[in-house]
Amino acid sequence: MKKPKIDKTPARLDFIQSATGLILALFIMGHLLFEASILISNEMMYKVTLMFEGYYFFGERYPGIISFLAAAISAIFILHAAVAMRKMPSKYREYRIMRKHTASLHHEDSSLWMIQVLTGFAMFFLGSVHLYGMMAQPDQIGPFLSSVRVVDGHMAPLYLLLLFSVVSHAFIGMYRLALKWGFMEGKNSKKSRKIHKFLMRGFILVYLVIGSFSLAKYIEIGMTHDFSDGETYHSQTIQMESEQ
Amino acid sequence: MSEKKDGHQLRKLQVDILRFDPHDPDDFPHIETFEIEEAHGMTLFVLLNEIREHHDNSLKFDFVCRAGICGSCSMLVNGKPTLACRTLTKKLDQHITLAPLPLFELIGDLSINTGTWMRGLNERLETWIHDKEQELNVDALEERMEPDLADEIYELDRCIECGCCVAGCGTIQMRPDFVGAVGLNKIARYHLDPRDKRDNKDYYELVGDENGVFGCMTLLGCEDVCPKDLPLQSKIAYLRRMMLRTGLKG
Amino acid sequence: MKIIYTDVLIIGGGLAGLRVATGVKERGHDAVILTLVPPKRSHSAAAQGGMQASLANCAMGEGDDEDVHFADTIKGSDWGADQEVARMFTHCAPKAIRELAAWGVPWSRVDRGDHTAIINAKKVTITERDEAHGLITARDFGGTKKWRTCYTSDGTGHSMLYAMDNKAHDDKVEIHERMEAIALLHENGRCYGAIARNLMDGELVAYVSKATTIATGGYGRIYEVSTNAIICQGMGQAIALETGIATLGNMEAIQFHPTAIVPVGILTTEGCRGDGGLLLDKDGYRFMPDYEPDKKELASRDVVSRRMTEHIRKGKGVKSHYGDHLWLDITILGREHIEKNLREVKEICENFLGIDPAEEWIPVRPTQHYSMGGIRTTYRGESQTLKGLYSCGEAACWDMHGFNRLGGNSVSETVVSGMLVAEYIADFCDTPESSVNIHSSTIEKFLKIEEEKIEALLTVENGEDAYVLRRAMEKIMMEKVGIFRNGKDLQEAVDELEALYKRSKNIEVFRSKSRAANPALVNAYRTQRMLKVALTVAYGALLRTESRGAHAREDYPERDDANWLKRTITSWPDKEQTMPTVTYEEIPIGKMELPPGFRGYGKDMTLHNTESKVRQETVAAIRKKLEEGGASRFEIQNALMPFKHKLPSKYQNRNERLNEPLGEEHE
Ligand SMILES: Cc1cc2nc3c(=O)[nH]c(=O)nc-3n(C[C@H](O)[C@H](O)[C@H](O)COP(=O)(O)OP(=O)(O)OC[C@H]3O[C@@H](n4cnc5c(N)ncnc54)[C@H](O)[C@@H]3O)c2cc1C
Ligand code: HEM
Ligand code: HEM
Ligand code: SF4
Ligand code: F3S
Ligand code: FES
């Protein structure tokens, strides 16, 4: 029997959507932890920044790396958004049906999906702004520079919204990812789903706490620190050649 | 019967029913409220028949087996799709709302035409054993099958086509061409079955697109409302993996 | 006027109807199925326990064959069955099940090695043969010598029905759902189809066909409490009766199932007892061994039901709001077994009783369950009196069940009779005799009559309330035509039912006047017809002054082979008569392979027919002679009662078994 060739696109798109989502989610898990280094000390945050700038590998700072990273993430971000857009209610009518459906069904997982759609939609704007900033000014990162941006650059409200969006979106997404593909399902899928959901809730909570504290710290620094001798942070332990 | 069950406080139930007769040009969807004395061990089957027999004999609804096995009586009970015949009133509040399942053609009041819909689905997905090559000899020993596999197939074969999963799925509400969990479960069932000689590519043709397994957004309403407790999430995931593999290999 | 032409019209989309449809379709004839509900929702879906077929795969089924199955069936029927038909049936049951296996039913399979089972309240280890691994297994059911009831967990009927319906899709059978046949079209003693009413919009449609098959299932809903689906209202039997020509057989033979839950009457399968469950009384005492020391809980259904009723009458029942009941204890089977093999039972207990059957006992009592009677047919499934009208499945009295059917023989009958009758119908359709010679004016006349009936129901004033009549009928049947019957009650029942029937001619549909979907209208015309069916049951029971199988007369406790070895035949030749006409059809002993004997329950109360002894001796002599000559069981059987020539040739071959390979046939 000769069979006509199958159309591979739907499989690929679904895979891309999940893969990009997963990469972004893992990225964010790391990102927010690195960001939280500010909670340990300014010095720590500074070291992390240096690390990303390749200082520990090349002995020199290349903010371009960050630019490159941001560009790469942006690409994934855009790809993910573009692919995931297929799933967003495309017409207002669809959105209304879905709203009505979730409201009358009182069904948690359907509501979670609604949250994902709304947060995705929000990030479309919030995330883009942030990413653009990171691409354009990769050298403007550090305990002080960042704090200045957060406070004087009026980024704090945006970050707060972005934080809530991205954390819920990412972990709901990971939960959905696990169930969608049957990761670590085990013998009893009802039980493993419960575990997945528990983990999802836990991660959201932990990350919201960490993120909020870091943001608070940036704000605190931005509001209280005396930037009269420049906005760049001067490390006590690491001496840059250029600064000498 | 144990006394504690009968000790349940009987109430006067307030039952709101969404009514509409599409055959009556003057009618429009409206809520009608009935007050019914609760009885011991009362199910919605008993309750609705009580209404029909003593309050309004034009009330339309469907029951066949009244035992939770034929899938005729699915409706929205307080917004949730479920089988009415096996819903005990004592598990519900004193105020009950009943409405027909959305998406299916309305015959009248709570009666919907799930049959035609399911038939269309079965035809679309060709939910029967495909094995034309082999001439069946009914005299000879039957083909062997691993006992565990037989059990596994039966597990998925238990679907009663009640349509609850369809009503519980937001995706299909938005995009009526989506096959829904009921359809995906059926494909998973035939995929498991060695008697069906279709290969992955054949199945991909049927469900390898946005109306099939890649259209499912893992909302899990299906899994949570299925009255037969079918492992829908797990089987859709299984099918998705199969179809992805097929799709990537080409 | 809407007329639809087809070769074969099939009324009923249950197992029997679907099997006929695919059968005639494969022979190249068009088929249309009419059904009240989508086929997959037919009552057949409710069969839990299993299907009998003598495959002899599992260890406890070893040594089983057609002969054993045949003997069980005839004894079960209390010698009321047509033995040739029972032979045809037992011969074809393995074929039917193998066919279903190929069409997708996931039959539970034999698993090699040891497993434990509960037999007679004790744990036993059973060892399955290696060579049987992966073949279809079976469980124990009442009234059988061997474990012969094949199953898929406890959703056997469901799986079978789904496989059949899917097969019908594959075969492109046309299925018209929510179309109710309300009258048969006939002219000059020949049936040409039916008038049907669309239950969604009320339209009347004439279906004209060469052959018409009624596969509408049983009529349990004439009783107040029944395990049957609520659409099992006997409409097939009623419209056949209303032709005035077709006849019904053994309508009084009604089976009561021992274990339906109280109060709703939903069945818990015989598999519960088959797998080792016990019946207990109010003291938690296992009483069945006292009555039936041999078969205990697994005696034939009619026997167990009567013993339970007797025991309740002795005051041993458990009192409840809804009358007395007994307990079914399956806790001893263990949770794992229940969750795997008795899932539906578990769900039913949880949903309708709020109990966990792995922990608690289930309240049960005997409840109306099966209609052995139905449209009387020849072995070809054709009405004996109305040409072109066929019937099979529970709707028919083909007559392999006689006065009591064995558990698991019914779904088996649906597919076997469906498969055979389809061939006979196709044969008929292949002959010129089958051409349709009905005047269109006759069709019009039939349509008009039905229209007028409906019109009358909607326009009569000061008429009767159909619900009131129906509830009264249900109560009479329940109280006076139940498990134990007696002349006085039956006479009252007949009189009261006749009075109700007369009143039913003046039914008015109150308030709800729609001609489209209108439940009140449906109830009105069905009630009229159900009353006719109820009358055939009650009247047949009144006249039959003996006890046979499920028909137990307290005033005539003996089985009376001398006078009553015959079938009750009911008809309704004149529209104006208010009682059915009853005649009888002899069951000739002279041709029996298994002459009447003692059924083996309680003490022998049979009033024997002198002919039985003669035939027994003849049979014994033939058997002895042939056995000495080294004849095979097939040759002996053939000498006693040849039947194979009656089967369609493609179903005449022998059945393969592990111990009976097909090769031997040519020796
Ligand atoms: C609870 C329960 C459990 C059972 N378990 C077993 C078991 O384990 N083993 C066993 O062997 N048997 C069992 N039986 C018996 C068995 O299920 C039935 O006898 C058998 O399924 C009947 O099948 P059928 O095809 O003849 O009729 P049904 O399945 O009853 O189908 C009747 C069809 O006729 C249609 N119909 C009816 N009237 C009309 C009309 N006027 N116009 C158009 N269509 C009409 C209906 O829509 C339906 O499609 C059980 C029965 C019950 C009640
Ligand atoms: C423009 C921004 C974004 C939009 C519009 C968007 C939109 C969506 C939508 C609609 C879904 C649901 C798809 C479905 O249910 O099938 C989704 C899934 C997902 N998103 Fe996003 N998203 C965005 C950004 C992100 C980011 C930044 C992350 C990571 C932190 C992320 C992680 C995920 C994950 C893990 C999934 C689950 C993947 C899957 O279901 O296949 N998304 N996204
Ligand atoms: C490679 C790309 C990225 C880089 C280099 C980067 C870098 C940073 C930096 C340096 C900060 C600190 C504040 C500041 O300096 O302005 C920050 C904060 C933040 N970023 Fe990013 N980011 C990247 C991508 C993203 C993406 C894709 C998201 C989500 C869509 C995101 C969400 C956030 C949030 C929510 C905060 C606030 C953190 C907090 O609350 O503690 N970032 N990011
Ligand atoms: S999958 Fe479950 S909910 Fe869906 S139709 Fe089947 S039984 Fe009903
Ligand atoms: S609810 Fe719908 S989206 Fe998928 S998981 Fe179930 S089919
Ligand atoms: S009536 Fe059959 S499932 Fe409810």
What is the tens place of the pLDDT at every residue in C87-111?
999 999 999 999 999 999 999 999 9
Q: What is residue A80's predicted lDDT score, i.e. its pLDDT?
A: 96
Which CATH number is A13-227's, of 3.40.50.300, 1.25.40.340, 1.10.260.40, 1.20.1300.10?
A: 1.20.1300.10
Q: Closest-lying ligand to the alpha carbon of B239? A: 5
The residue ranges of DSSP E strands in chain A, in sequence order, are none
- Domains contained in chain B, CATH given: 4-112 (3.10.20.30), 126-249 (1.10.1060.10)
In the complex, which subunits touch A with 3 or more CB pairs below 8 angstroms?
B
- Distance between CA atoms of residues C100 and C412, nearest Å: 11
| C504: Cα within 13 Å, side-chain hemisphere | 28
What is the torsion angle, in degrees rounded to the nearest 10, for the CA atoms of residue B238, residue B240, residue B242 and residue B247?
A: -170
What is the tens place of the pLDDT at every residue in C294-349?
889 988 888 999 999 999 999 999 998 888 999 999 999 999 999 988 888 999 99
Closest in C46, C94, C97 to B67, CB measured: C46
Contact between chains at B248 and A11 (C-beta distance less than 8 A): yes
Spacing, Cα B159 to ligand 4 middle (Å):
5
Question: Tokens in use for B48?
Answer: 């609705």
DSSP C61: G
Closest Cα to residue C488, out of C538, C532, C557? C538
The residue ranges of DSSP E strands in C334-454, in sequence order, are 362-371, 374-376, 389-391, 396-397
Contact between chains at A110 and B221 (C-beta distance less than 8 A): yes
Closest Cα to residue C325, out of C258, C376, C412? C258
- Distance between CA atoms of residues C263 and B88, nearest Å: 13
Distance from CA of B146 to the nearest CA of A (A): 19
**pTM (2 d.p.):** 0.94
Closest in A105, A106, A185 to B234, CB measured: A185
Closest in B2, B41, B144 to C263, CB measured: B41
Residue type, A3: K
Write down the domain spans for chain A.
Answer: 13-227
- The answer to whether the CB of B185 falls within 8 A of the CB of B156 is yes
Residues 6+ apart with CB under 8 A from B134: none
Counting one residue from chain B and one from chain C, the pairs whose CB atoms sit within 8 A come to 223
Owner of token pair 């650059």? A153
Ligand 3 atom at minimum distance from A77 CA? 27
Contact between chains at B144 and C109 (C-beta distance less than 8 A): yes
Owner of token pair 């049947």? C477
Q: What is residue A160's predicted lDDT score, i.e. its pLDDT?
A: 96
| C591: Cα within 13 Å, side-chain hemisphere | 12
B20 near A CB under 8 A: no
Residues 6+ apart with CB under 8 A from C1: C206, C443, C444, C447
- The answer to whether the CB of C138 falls within 8 A of the CB of C61 is yes
pLDDT beyond 90 at C142: no
pLDDT beyond 70 at C474: yes
> For residue A103, how many other CB atoms are within 10 A of its CB?
13
Residue type, C459: T
- Distance between CA atoms of residues C160 and C51, nearest Å: 10
Spacing, Cα A83 to ligand 2 middle (Å):
9
User: Phi and psi dihedrals of A40, rounded to 5?
Assistant: -75, -55
Residue C162 CA to its chain's centroid (Å): 19
Task: Kindly tell me the sign of the dihedral angle through the C-alpha atoms of A174, B231, B90, B33.
Answer: positive
With a 6 A CB cut-off, is B13 part of the ligand 4 pocket?
no
Q: What is residue B135's predicted lDDT score, i.e. its pLDDT?
A: 82
What is the tens place of the pLDDT at every residue in C254-265?
999 999 999 889
Distance from CA of C72 to the nearest CA of B (A): 22
Tens of pLDDT along chain A (244 residues) come to 456 678 889 999 999 999 999 999 999 999 999 999 999 999 999 999 999 998 888 888 899 999 999 999 999 999 999 999 888 888 888 999 999 999 888 999 999 999 999 999 999 999 999 999 999 988 889 999 999 999 998 999 999 999 999 999 999 999 999 999 999 888 889 999 999 999 999 999 999 999 999 999 999 999 998 888 888 888 878 776 554 4
Residue C56 CA to its chain's centroid (Å): 24
User: Phi and psi dihedrals of C390, rounded to 5?
Assistant: -120, 165
Ligand 2 atom at minimum distance from A18 CA? 41
| A237: Cα within 13 Å, side-chain hemisphere | 8
Helices C466-480 and C519-543 cross at an angle (nearest 10°) of 30
Rg (CA), chain C: 24
Q: Considering only CB atoms, which chain C residues are within 8 Å of B65?
A: 41, 43, 45-46, 229-230
With a 6 A CB cut-off, is B70 part of the ligand 6 pocket?
yes
- The answer to whether the CB of C7 falls within 8 A of the CB of C210 is yes
Q: What is residue C662's predicted lDDT score, i.e. its pLDDT?
A: 84
Q: Closest-lying ligand to the alpha carbon of B212? A: 5
Contact between chains at B69 and C344 (C-beta distance less than 8 A): yes
What's the mean pLDDT in C60-68?
Answer: 95
Spacing, Cα B221 to ligand 5 middle (Å):
6
Q: What is residue A242's predicted lDDT score, i.e. its pLDDT?
A: 55
ipTM score assigned to the predicted complex? 0.93
Q: What is residue C297's predicted lDDT score, i.e. its pLDDT?
A: 92
Question: Tokens in use for C617?
Answer: 């001796």
Helices A9-35 and B232-249 cross at an angle (nearest 10°) of 110
Write out the DSSP string of A132-179: HHHHH-TT--SHHHHHHHHHTT--HHHHHHHHHHHHHHHHHHHHHHHH
Burial of residue B116, with CB atoms counted within 10 A of its CB: 0-12 exposed, 13-18 middle, 19 or more buried: middle
Distance from CA of B75 to the nearest CA of A (A): 12
Distance from CA of A16 to the nearest CA of B (A): 11
What is the tens place of the pLDDT at every residue in C595-646?
999 888 778 889 999 999 999 999 999 999 999 999 999 999 999 999 999 9
Q: What is residue B197's predicted lDDT score, i.e. its pLDDT?
A: 93
Q: How does the average pLDDT of chain C come out, rounded?
A: 94
What are the catalytic residues of C? 257, 273
Q: What is residue A91's predicted lDDT score, i.e. its pLDDT?
A: 84
With a 6 A CB cut-off, is B164 part of the ligand 4 pocket?
yes
Tens of pLDDT along chain B (250 residues) come to 344 445 578 899 999 999 999 988 899 999 999 999 998 889 999 999 999 999 999 999 999 999 999 999 999 999 999 999 999 999 999 999 999 999 999 999 999 999 999 999 999 999 999 987 778 899 999 999 999 999 999 999 999 999 999 999 999 999 999 999 999 999 999 999 999 999 999 999 999 999 999 999 999 999 999 999 999 999 999 999 999 999 988 6
Q: Considering only CB atoms, which chain A residues are within 8 Å of B224?
A: 107, 109
DSSP C267: B
Q: What is residue B2's predicted lDDT score, i.e. its pLDDT?
A: 40
In the complex, which subunits touch B with 3 or more CB pairs below 8 angstroms?
A, C
Length of chain A: 244
Closest Cα to residue B186, out of B175, B196, B174, B176? B196
Q: What is residue A241's predicted lDDT score, i.e. its pLDDT?
A: 59
Write out the DSSP string of C455-470: HHHHH-SS-B-HHHHH
Ligand 3, atom 14, lies closest to the CA of A146
> Does the N-terminal peptide bond of residue B29 adopt cis geometry, omega within 30 degrees of 0?
no
What are residue C115's DSSP bridge partners? Answer: C126
